Structure 1
């Protein structure tokens, strides 16, 4: 390579680097970008997570009446009798009708394949969700339902009401923004600049994972007791700050 060509290539590389500017990572997942363009501000992009814990304020118990019969009508009739008995008992226990909702109903034939496919009867299943804003009602709902016709308890779910989620999400967002700002200040300081204002911000998350209920051991004739754990509401924010 002759001397003139070498000088030209170096000049081209220097010019290209000056046009592109520089970007470099600072910390975990945080990047400070700078530019030589006087019209564009330098920025730092960060993310922050905020978590708020709270006890459940709603419990949903999934239960089902299940009965068999030689005919479809007999299975249906037996299941209807048990369902009526269970609904009456829940009503008497202070669970209003609007808190008891049918989730599914099935009437299916049963076959015996021992000597070929032979119809031997039918099974009727009427499934319900029973909800209560008093989470301590969970065990009582189970005991009343099972003692009065319910054949299955499919699940118990401790949840947060929509109103409570909205309140907790607001608090979680505030925590997430505080965390993001702390990281942005640290990253900017490391780069020898300071954050000046927020350029953009986005929020994601806000859901929660219901806790798995813990069943307390008890005597055979004792009441059912469930102990829910706290529920975490988590929010993540992504913020872009201008720096100078």
Structure 2
């Protein structure tokens, strides 16, 4: 007997059903969400790019403006609305000190012998300087050197001995004794004296006077320029000053060991100048 099957009877597939592609609902749903996610991501990246460009422009402008204010103290560029005026003030001054360098160059077969010769002469010099009224604080060692000395022959160099040199800078506050100090070279055996200069010890009081004269010159020039160019001076943008070291009377000397009375004649200090140069940048309109 035929066996009866439970459940629905199997239906034959139609040609139309066979021709339709299988439906994958899960995959179709994920594709839709992925498309939406990609669009959102692109939109966010675009917005972030616009924001980044804005921030770059904003901070770049801010930095530029700050630099501009720094360079011109909050005003427009100097080249556009400023003018530079310079002045110079000079004050003639009688020198109140003399400065010179004195030293000894000694040579011997050994370093010890050369040092002994050098030290003996320099100690005599220091003792005599103090006797002339030069204070210890006004005597300063400027160099102390030891060098080997060679003779050069066809066979090469041959060590001859050693040279020891020592120098001290001497500040002479009583300028009338400058020639006596120089004369010590011949007396004690110093063989290197150079650069006797008369100058001013305390320059500050004269710098103030030179500055005043320079600023008066600047003010006069500024008024003349204002009238000639038809401009108005509104204020000062910047101010600079330069203190020139005015040279007084200077004697170039090199003294060897000779009798003291033949070393130096009378020396006159002459005069010197304290010079101040100023430069003022004015805002104009």
TM-score, normalization by structure 2 = 0.62
1:225 aligns with 2:262: no
Identify which of 147, 161, 168 aligns with 1:128.
168
Larger radius of gyration: 2
Structure 1 Cα separation of the partners of residues 131 and 179 of structure 2: 16
The change in CA–CA distance for 1:152 and 1:103 in structure 2 (over 3 A counts) is: same
Please name the residue that 1:96 is paired with: 135
For the aligned residue pairs, the C-alpha RMSD in angstroms reads 2.6
Contact 2:239 2:278 in 1 (8 A): yes
Please name the residue that 1:239 is paired with: 280
Shift of 1:104: 0.7
1:112 aligns with 2:151: yes
Contact 2:237 2:283 in 1 (8 A): no
Higher helix residue share: 2
* Number of residue pairs the alignment of both structures matches: 198
Identify which of 211, 231, 234 aligns with 1:173.
211
Please name the residue that 2:85 is paired with: 46
Structure 2 Cα separation of the partners of residues 116 and 142 of structure 1: 41
Gaps of 5+ in 1: 1-36
1:200 aligns with 2:237: yes
The change in CA–CA distance for 1:62 and 1:202 in structure 2 (over 3 A counts) is: same
Structure 2 Cα separation of the partners of residues 43 and 221 of structure 1: 62
The change in CA–CA distance for 1:125 and 1:200 in structure 2 (over 3 A counts) is: same
Please name the residue that 2:126 is paired with: 87
The change in CA–CA distance for 1:237 and 1:85 in structure 2 (over 3 A counts) is: closer
Question: Partner of 2:125: helix, strand, or coil?
Answer: helix
The change in CA–CA distance for 1:66 and 1:205 in structure 2 (over 3 A counts) is: same
The change in CA–CA distance for 1:130 and 1:203 in structure 2 (over 3 A counts) is: same
Shift of 1:194: 5.3
What are the residue-to-residue correspondences of 1:67-78 with 2, within 5 Å? 67-78=106-117
Higher strand residue share: 1
Structure 2 Cα separation of the partners of residues 109 and 45 of structure 1: 57
Please name the residue that 1:210 is paired with: 247
Gaps of 5+ in 2: 1-75, 253-260
Structure 2 Cα separation of the partners of residues 186 and 241 of structure 1: 14
Contact 1:69 1:122 in 2 (8 A): yes
Structure 1 Cα separation of the partners of residues 238 and 91 of structure 2: 20
